[in-house]
Amino acid sequence: MYHFIYKTTSNSGKYYIGRHSTNNINDGYFGSGKWLRSIKDKSTLTREILEYCGESNIKIIEESYLRENVGKENCMNFNLSSCGFSSGELNCAKSPEERIKRSLRSLGDKNPAKREAVRRKMSEAQKGKPSSRKGQKMSEEGRKNISKARIGLKISEEGKRKLSESRIKDYATGKRTPHKKSGWSHSIESKKMQSEIAKNREKYICIHCNKVAIKALITRWHNDNCKVLKHGI
């Protein structure tokens, strides 16, 4: 693999500096800048290799050339920074996952069967890999924003119908499995035991209305949240 800085010059004397990585030194690549793409007749262009580089430092060397040339009369580079993706294996667009994503986007709705095959391939490529958000915690502000966005959100009847049909299909195909306690109920003995436990729970008294209830209800609806305190009822 060759990594180098090049200079592409037109018959008018205008030129463009960029970087390139290739297995074929004579691949006819002139660059991908806006000015170069506007030139229809590529026979008016010539490419000169300014310097060979390593894959890890090619962007740094390119930026040094840009600092020397950007702003000169015939230089058609518009930016001092090294634009575009990294070269070679450092180019994220060349990763298997990114190639699958681009393939999926290019398919659109033209070929559902092929699109589904690409999705399965993409799913297989992601298996066993931790989520990009693993270990991250959402900020309190983020939680509030999501909560605020969902206030008043209602699913239409059509949406409910589609969701129901999707769930039924998932259970029928085995994609979803019923909860292990689905259709399960407590025995008579269990119900009696829970009833006794509830009766023997410690009771508390509201400091405003003297209502007697378990701690959870007193905390939620009484004391500082009591209607007597808020509304004078």
Structure tokens at 44: 């008016």
| pLDDT tier, 42 (very low <50, low <70, confident <90, very high otherwise) | confident
Contact 176, 170 (CB under 8 A): yes
> Which of 107, 124, 141 delimits the end of a domain?
124
Q: Based on the domain organization, do 83 and 102 belong to the same domain?
A: no
% of the chain with per-residue pLDDT over 70: 85
What is the average pLDDT score of the chain? 82
Segments forming the whole domain that contains residue 227: 198-231
Whether residue 6 is found in the same domain as residue 76: yes
Per-residue tokens: 134: 């693993």
Q: Cα–Cα distance between 86 and 59 in angstroms, integer? A: 7
The CA distance from 18 to 74, in Å, is: 15
CB 19 within 8 A of CB 62: yes
| 71 and 28 share one domain | yes
Q: What is the pLDDT of residue 46?
A: 93
Bigger pLDDT: 109 vs 162: 162
Task: Answer yes or no: pTM beyond 0.75.
Answer: no
Res. 109 pLDDT band, cuts 50 70 90 = low
Q: Is residue 70 part of a domain?
A: yes
- My answer on whether 54 and 103 are in the same domain is no
The whole-number pLDDT of residue 173 equals 87
Contact 17, 65 (CB under 8 A): yes
pLDDT over 60 at 89, yes or no:
no
Q: Domain boundary residue among 32, 67, 90?
A: 90
Of 72, 101, 124, the one marking the end of a domain is 124
pLDDT in tens, 18-28: 898 888 888 88
- Residues 12 and 59 reside in one and the same domain: yes
* 104 and 42 belong to one structural domain: no
State which H helix or E strand residue 22 sits in: strand 15-22
Checking if the pLDDT of 87 tops 50, the result is no
pLDDT (tens digit per residue) in 175-202: 888 777 777 788 899 889 999 988 888 9
Residue 163 maps to a domain: no
Same domain, 59 and 100: no
